[in-house]
A and B are shown apart, each in its own frame.
Chain A
């Protein structure tokens, strides 16, 4: 991400560019938190591409995303630019059978 833009506009850019975005601790290869890993595991299980942003690499983004959503914790998941919650909500939506259709729809209706 560029350094000169405001945190909020950097976050907006990521949300516009990727249908599924998760702000997490660590990376898919090296998750640094059980909840962040949980979110990434669910996405991989469903089999959709997703963008992760490691908040541990960028303290400004770590605080910026929490202000952006007025939500105090990481991970934070966005689908088509809309904040859908953290790990517990992603897990609940998955258990209800709502998550998979939501994610699959999001990745197949990307605007170019």
Chain B
């Protein structure tokens, strides 16, 4: 089990200044939608961006977090 807050905090800590939004999509604390808008993604491919996020969450992905939908954008892309 994870929480929206825990996920938001973990990602926000790893990407200072980013806009992070998290939504529990099933109400069961294990399926989340994550949107991260960060300068850190500039120049990075989509795979690289997702790997950066997976690195923050480690073993939780596939464990406590059963499903994670990710949108990783730069500020320019999010407009």
Contact = CB atoms under 8 A, between A and B. Distances in A.
Contact of B61 (A33, A73, A83, A93): A73
B62 A73 contact: yes
Given A35-B67, A71-B54, A73-B68, A89 B46 contact: yes
Contact of B47 (A34, A66, A85): A85
Nearest to B31: A34
B18 interface: no
B71 interface: yes
A2 B70 CA distance: 35
Interface in B24-71: 46-47, 50-51, 54, 61-62, 67-71
- Classify chain A's interface size: 10 to 19
Contacts of A89: 46-47, 50
Contacts, number: 33
Contacts of B50: 85-86, 88-89
Given A89-B47, A92-B46, A72 B54 contact: yes
B61 A72 contact: yes
Contacts of B71: 88, 92
Contacts of B46: 85, 88-89, 92-93
18 contacts: A34-B67, A70-B51, A71-B51, A72-B62, A73-B61, A73-B62, A73-B67, A73-B68, A84-B47, A85-B50, A87-B69, A88-B46, A88-B50, A88-B69, A88-B70, A88-B71, A89-B47, A92-B71
Interface of B: 46-47, 50-51, 54, 61-62, 67-71
Interface of A: 33-35, 66, 70-73, 83-89, 92-93
